[in-house]
Structure 1
Amino acid sequence: MKKAVFNLEPLGCPTCVKKIQSTLEKMEGVEEVKVLFHSNRVRTQFDENKVQAEDIQNTITKLGYPVLSQKVS
């Protein structure tokens, strides 16, 4: 398992949190998602054999939330 934190541009509302979280939870290989509204971060835990951090980042971006940076560990 790998972990990744994505720093986003400021989120506009709590609905944004639900949209990101529910979409990422449906991705194959994503085991855990936590969207932090006040710090504009998305924390994930994922199986690198099924999905990559870049795939998660691309999904967040496609939802309309630009990713400023990511840290994978």
Structure 2
Amino acid sequence: MLITLKLEQLGCPSCVKKIESGIKQQAGVHAVEVLFNSSKVKVDFNEKEVSRETIASVIEKLGYTVKNR
């Protein structure tokens, strides 16, 4: 399943690596792409192993706000 999450404005390019690393650690995540300029996160994952809610929670635990949970 491929989803796109909209975040509050990202403050710096290093945020990209932080978010990608956090999400990639979740079982079932196949690919992650953080779009800095548009503050979006695209995630391809197996919904039998991880949920959209879990991915959003990981992002929020890293200190970012997800606008479309």
Q: Give TM-score, length-normalised by structure 2.
A: 0.96
Query: Which one has a larger percent strand, Structure 1 or Structure 2?
Result: 1
Q: Give TM-score, length-normalised by structure 1.
A: 0.91
What is the rounded CA distance, in whole Å, between the counterparts of 2:64 and 2:29 in structure 1?
Answer: 18
The SS at the match of 1:17 is helix
State the match for 1:21 in structure 2.
Answer: 20
Structure 2, unpaired ranges of 5+: none
Aligned length: 69
Report whether the alignment pairs 1:61 with 2:63. Answer: no
Query: 1:55: how far off?
Result: 0.3
What is the rounded CA distance, in whole Å, between the counterparts of 1:12 and 1:47 in structure 2?
Answer: 29
What is the rounded CA distance, in whole Å, between the counterparts of 2:52 and 2:2 in structure 1?
Answer: 9
Runs of 4 or more, structure 1, over 6 Å off, are none
Q: Percent identity?
A: 45
Report whether the alignment pairs 1:49 with 2:48. Answer: yes
